[in-house]
A = this chain, B = another copy of it.
Amino acid sequence: MERIPILKLGDFLLVTIQVDMHDQLAITLQDDLTTQIAKHASRGVLIDISSLEIVDSFIGRMLANIAAMSKVLDAQTVLTGMQPAVAITLVELGMSLSGIKTALNVERGMEILRQFSDQSYELQDANGFQE
C-alpha cells in the first residue's frame, strides 16, 4: 500500500510530499501523522512541499486539516519550501492557510518549531510557578 513516510527528527516529525495526493493517501497520511505525534509526543510537524508545482483546493484543505489536528495534539505545523507559483495559486483559491506557519526551507522551519517549543515550555514553567 502506498503511503508517505514520516521521519522522526528529535521532537519533530518531517513529511515531504512528492506525489500527487488523492483521497485515500491523504486520509492515510492524516492517520499516520496523528498516530506518530501521539506515540512520540512530538512538538512539531514539518511538511515540505518543495517538489509540488501545483496545489489545488484539495491539497490546501488537507494541509489545513493536518495543521488543525496537530494543534489539538499540541504540535505546531510548519509548511516549508513552497514555490512562488503555489503561493499565488493558494491566494487565488482564497486559501490563506490560517493556522499554518510557513518557512522558506526546512532549516528555518526547524528554528520556528524550536522557538515555539521553547516558548510553550516556558509557559508551562510559568504556570507551574504560579500554583
Using a CB–CB cutoff of 8 Å, the interface residues on chain A facing chain B are: 2-5, 7-10, 14, 16, 18-19, 48, 50-51, 81, 105-107, 110
Pairwise interchain contact A9-B51, C-beta atoms closer than 8 A: no
Query: Which residues of chain B have C-beta atoms less than 8 A from A106's C-beta?
Result: 7-9, 14
Closest chain B CB from A3 CB (angstroms): 6
Query: Which residues of chain B have C-beta atoms less than 8 A from A107's C-beta?
Result: 8-10
Query: Which residues of chain B have C-beta atoms less than 8 A from A5's C-beta?
Result: 16, 18, 48, 50-51, 81
Given contacts A5-B50, A7-B16, 8 further A-B contacts (CB under 8 A): A5-B16, A7-B14, A7-B48, A7-B50, A7-B81, A9-B107, A16-B16, A18-B18
Pairwise interchain contact A4-B51, C-beta atoms closer than 8 A: yes
Query: Which residues of chain B have C-beta atoms less than 8 A from A110's C-beta?
Result: 9
